[in-house]
Structure 1
Amino acid sequence: VNCPSNGILLKVVSHLAERYAGMACVTASMDDIQFEETVRVGQVINIKARVNRAFNTSMEVGIYVTVQEVLSGVTKRVCVDFSTFVAKPTGTHKVSLKPLDVQGSVEEMLEYSLASERRRLRLYNEEAFKNLMKDYYYLQNKGYRKPVAPVVLTELMRVVSIELVLPPHANHHGNTFGGQIMAWMENVATVAASRLCGYYPSLGAVDMFRFRGPSSVGVNNTFQTSVEVGVRVEAYNCEEWNEGTPRHINSASMIYYIPGRDGEKQTFPDVTYTTLDGERRFIGAIVRKRIHMARKHILYSRDEGPISVPWDRSNQVPQKNI
């Protein structure tokens, strides 16, 4: 039995962000998460979080998760994530978070420096996605449509879940925990992925996404040993259930795989689509995979040297916060 892998992260770090800001904070976005180990019942999870850098009204929080086997004492890394929290003051006064005074280890100073580059990539992500989507549609209109074997229809794997938000699901400000929403999203996405493979799959990654406010689900595309499941979350007020317009909370893309007995991941069947929305999600999965690989290369490739240098007072320059 696998423990919920992603929802627990935001619950842990929200209090850290509020302690640094001195006011209420909400989760704005999460970067790509790659799960390196599966956490199982009976194992011990160790979650560490720290503020890497503070900007004008937002901050980046680094989250580091490890798992320990009780009997052997062996500790392995589960995942590393970088989340953005935004300060929400009461009233109308403007917020200006205090700058982070970095006086720690070389690793902390390097993360402080890289936080600025990660922020730039977050801001560029949505624009890059739109441009790549246009390119793919342009190629299709020119007759370069990639042939798709009609094996499994994505529309057959859609799942809808309705959850009632109760007091234990919310923080002390009355807002639903971002981690709770993520946990619900993972549960429904797992059902959709299991319908495709006929097996209980493991969550391998979560693509970067943004929270748009305080669901229908279905498989988007398969990539040999992995499958992307798209999740959309909407919120209703109880009195508006019949006639109100739903609020779009957020959308996310989760990557699943089937662990094999010999350590190699098993393959998924090919999928196709029959609707325009299915086509959009199918192409969007390809685009997100390209962006994810490019972002991973930019931030973690060492072939061309580090993307940044550790910060210290000798190379400090004035920075304009946005």
Structure 2
Amino acid sequence: MPLWSAYSAFEYIRSLWLKTFLFITQPIITRWLPDPYTNAGNVRVDARPTYESRVTMTEIITPAHANTKGLAYAGTVLGWIDVAAGIAAKRHASVPSVTRSVDDVAFLHPVKVGDILTIQASVNKSWKTSMEVGVKVEAESPLTAERVFVAHAYLTFVALSPRPSPKTYLGRKLIEYQPIRVPEVIPYSQEEIKRYDMAESRRQARFARKAQDLKNIRQLFQAWSQGLRHDTGKNAPIIPHPALYAVEPEGASNNINSNNADDSPSQSPRDRLPQRRYSTDPRMMPMSEKAMATTFAEVVELVMPQHANTLSITFGGQIMAWMELCALTSAHRLTKAYLLTASIDSLNFITPTRVGDVVTVRSIVSRTFKSSMEVYVSVEAENLQTGQVNFTNDGFFTITAMDEKNVPVLLPHAIPHTEAEVELLEGSDDRRKKRLTQRQELINLVSATTPHTLQTPLSP
């Protein structure tokens, strides 16, 4: 028998023995482990009222949270939404909880530097080991005291058993964090009862939702990140700068923008809608089309302790912030304009990422409309100790383009050239129709519960 065959058989037997041993002993050992909550003198209950999980966070938007136009990044706001929802889930379950999924989030109003952001979260309903947390975001101007509705989100959290951190390999296998039963939710107010009743239908919709299989485009992403792309483009030119060159090279142009093809007056925007005004800024006049592959972007991040919760699992909000960063990079490669994230489609976190993992985020503009674009983003995590790479999650961002006066900017077409890109393009019309429908439903819902009339935001 070859040596490699004998080694493979040994590894298979060892793995089978370990799985059998853990299957028998893990339920028994986990019952013997101490519970920090009960050890502190508390008693676990079977049900809790909704108001006990209520959380209100207040944040002030600073320049560090915003882009060059002074508008807050959606990823920053999503991160705060995830933190507020996580606190609410942990208050209800009294155990560590991790983000399992995020429903579609539509931003109805931009948030500016200096605004005071109020984020309210509470558990709407709980099931065996999971909870739905609803989050509402409002912004307040410190100068006028005017308040405006910003966004609403639903997040699903899973409660995990509170266990001490193991130090050995066998300990990590025996004391692996397992889902644990959470208390039921008792709604009292009419609004709480309404959210409680609607939570079950949203849960069934999540189970019924079928994600599009985009494995081909993710494989294309990996090939591009490894330098296997044929049309890599030319190297950037060397343009002398007076602060870095004591003597300007002979023949250098004084106008550093003289070779910028995008500023050519021969380039004209696409036909415009007669009922809507678009930017006439010559710096933002789009080309007629661009190859979809030219918008590819990649962001690589090392998960540090500040990115993770007490279980060393990366915050879902941090993943979403990295996803938006990558999506904005792709969007900037399509157009020269100011960008604003309008919405993010629902996300499902398939596998968790932990401290020490390398998270790779890749994105590409999957479809352009008049002044908005859809950007597809995928995330994978690599364990540097084992070399294992896992697909974590993916999603679609909707990003709008505008000029300095907040006038929409016309965008070039993103043209697919490969089968994987064409596959990604398919379904974009249905996805957009779904987003606009949900956006209008949210506007109608907020308008019905707000005493003053909510103005319909400009839809891309």
- Compared with structure 1, are the counterparts of its residues 235 and 94 closer, same or farther at alpha carbon in structure 2 (3 Å cutoff)? closer
Deviates more, 1:173-182 or 1:10-19: 10-19
1-structure distance, mates of 2:439, 2:206: 13
One-letter amino acid matched to 2:193: M
1:95-134 equivalence runs, <5 A: 95-104=180-189, 106-126=190-210
Contact 2:134 2:152 in 1 (8 A): yes
Q: Which residue of 1 aligns with 2:451?
A: none
CA deviation digits over 1:204-237, x for unaligned, max 9? Answer: 0001111111121111111223211111111112
CA deviation digits over 1:237-274, x for unaligned, max 9? Answer: 2234xxx3411111111000124677663332222101
Task: Say which of 326, 329, 346 aligns to 1:191.
Answer: 329
1:1-322 equivalence runs, <5 A: 1-5=70-74, 6-89=78-161, 95-104=180-189, 106-126=190-210, 151-214=289-352, 215-240=361-386, 244-259=387-402, 265-293=408-436
- Compared with structure 1, are the counterparts of its residues 300 and 203 closer, same or farther at alpha carbon in structure 2 (3 Å cutoff)? closer
CA deviation digits over 1:7-30, x for unaligned, max 9? Answer: 221122212111211212111111
1-structure distance, mates of 2:297, 2:406: 30
1-structure distance, mates of 2:178, 2:348: 25
CA deviation digits over 1:270-310, x for unaligned, max 9? Answer: 221011221121114334224445666888879xxxxxxxx
SS at match of 2:318: helix
Q: Which residue of 2 aligns with 1:136?
A: none
1-structure distance, mates of 2:306, 2:296: 28
SS at match of 1:42: coil
Contact 1:150 1:271 in 2 (8 A): no
Contact 2:160 2:178 in 1 (8 A): no
What TM-score, normalized by structure 2, do the two folds share?
0.56
Contact 2:160 2:179 in 1 (8 A): no
Q: Which residue of 2 aligns with 1:138?
A: none
RMSD: 2.5
- Compared with structure 1, are the counterparts of its residues 264 and 4 closer, same or farther at alpha carbon in structure 2 (3 Å cutoff)? closer
Q: Which has the larger radius of gyration?
A: 2
Contact 2:345 2:395 in 1 (8 A): yes
Q: Which residue of 2 aligns with 1:317?
A: none
Contact 2:343 2:397 in 1 (8 A): yes
One-letter amino acid matched to 2:87: H
SS at match of 1:268: coil
Shift in Å, 1:55:
1.6
SS at match of 2:112: coil
SS at match of 1:195: helix
Shift in Å, 1:173:
1.2
SS at match of 1:100: strand
SS at match of 1:182: helix
CA deviation digits over 1:171-201, x for unaligned, max 9? Answer: 1111111111111111111111121121121
Q: Which runs of 5+ in 1 are unaligned?
A: 131-148, 303-322
What TM-score, normalized by structure 1, do the two folds share?
0.79
Shift in Å, 1:45:
0.8
1-structure distance, mates of 2:79, 2:409: 26
1-structure distance, mates of 2:340, 2:349: 24
One-letter amino acid matched to 2:412: P
1-structure distance, mates of 2:334, 2:299: 18
Contact 2:337 2:409 in 1 (8 A): no
Q: Which runs of 5+ in 2 are unaligned?
A: 1-69, 163-174, 214-286, 353-360, 446-460
SS at match of 1:45: strand
- Compared with structure 1, are the counterparts of its residues 152 and 293 closer, same or farther at alpha carbon in structure 2 (3 Å cutoff)? same
SS at match of 1:278: helix
Contact 1:152 1:270 in 2 (8 A): yes
One-letter amino acid matched to 1:63: V
Shift in Å, 1:98:
2.1
